[in-house]
Amino acid sequence: MSDLSNKHIVLGLSGGIACYKAAELCRSLIKAGASVQVVMTEAAAQFITPVTLQALSNRPVYVSQWDGREPNNMAHINLSRNADAIVVAPASADFMAKLLHGRTDDLLSLMCLARPMERVPLVLAPAMNREMWQHPATQRNVTQLRADGAHVLDVGQGEQACGETGDGRMLEPEEILEDLVAFFQPKALQGQHVLVTAGPTFEAIDPVRGITNLSSGKMGFAIARAAREAGAEVTLVAGPVHQATPRGVRRVDVRSALDMQAAVTQYVDQATVFVATAAVADWRLASVATQKIKKYGSGQLPQMQFTENPDILASVAKSERAQNGALFCVGFAAESHDLLAHATAKRARKGVPLLVGNIGPATFGLDDNALLLVDAQGSQELPHASKLSLARQLVAEIARRRS
């Protein structure tokens, strides 16, 4: 099932150059499983035509409050009653000011005011010049709109159509989509602080070589996203991977196991949940060469002495906060065979209440997985699915055990 399956979104466009992004947003919403009804202001139609949005949404586009296609001539009532959410993107400074004062001189503002507030949320994606965004009047309006129950998204930062640079750009379509998907997820971890480790570590041999593994970090990043969707504050400690940071997640990049240990130590005292998905190298060189090691054709292997890396999960699990229940620890085991036996043994060895096992070679770098949850009572399988779907299931399970 797609992220927005069975959701009906009314996509509103107010006037602004960011209307060009609304076309891609409309398409993305539909790809995510939603049905989309577009409502535009007359100003928005100066930037992008209703024909474009009609072609993308496969529905007639509404512009005028006097549109005669509705039998009762009440498009503002009919359209809002069928919506799971009204998303205005772009929301101009003028349009937000209009909403604040309850002014309804066009169909879109009339519909926003007429919506049943208790079941049809209003999501606004602001878009304007940086000076307009920073103006005290706009900031007051945003504060009051949020107080009135509207969900005002952040703005982007960068080059603007006017040639200036700064805050005020509308978020990119994929960012709005991610925020909207998160909005509909159950807030099972509201008020929690989740610390996640993800990806491999890299243990240097010399300035150009090192020891690492095939972990892509995708499962850990999915868990960070799912925890944020569930309402948690999330800190993600990431080894050397090339994954996009989930929206709203604080990311801390590290390289080696010692780097990861230091970052975890820095943030774990504020956490209430610790999920250790990182594939931390078991060993590192006792001494790293300062220059590239040459082979010179001698056939002789360089002399290397290894030392064991710290066990980050086990040390956190032994902490006072973990022992008294203030911190819930979850470990991961990537195995090549005998998953249940190895995961059961690892859970006991690490001293964690929940350990998640998977067959590493079958999932490294892929977008899907299958998980085995192991605790003191036994095991539970999470069947093969996308990593984000599994992450949401795992987050729900963590929330249940925390309650």
What residues are annotated to the active site? 162
Neighbouring residues of 99: CB distance < 8 A, sequence distance ≥ 6: 109, 112, 113, 124, 145, 150
Least Cα distance to 198 among 244, 141, 266 occurs for 244
Measured CA to CA in angstroms, residue 59 lies from 2, 38, 96, 337 at distances of 21, 8, 26, 52
Measured CA to CA in angstroms, residue 198 lies from 6, 26, 175, 236, 300 at distances of 32, 32, 22, 7, 36
Dihedral angle sign, alpha carbons of residues 380, 385, 386, 389: negative
Instruction: Give CA–CA dist 210/329, Å, rounded.
Output: 29
Measured CA to CA in angstroms, residue 109 lies from 17, 83, 184, 230 at distances of 19, 15, 23, 30
Instruction: Give CA–CA dist 379/101, Å, rounded.
Output: 56
Radius of gyration of the chain (CA): 25
150 close to 85: Cβ distance less than 8 angstroms:
no
Half-sphere exposure of 75 (CA within 13 A, CB side): 21
Instruction: Give CA–CA dist 267/269, Å, rounded.
Output: 6
- Angle (CA) 173 59 87, round 5°: 35
User: Burial level of 343, CB count in 10 A (0-12/13-18/19+)?
Assistant: buried
314 close to 345: Cβ distance less than 8 angstroms:
no
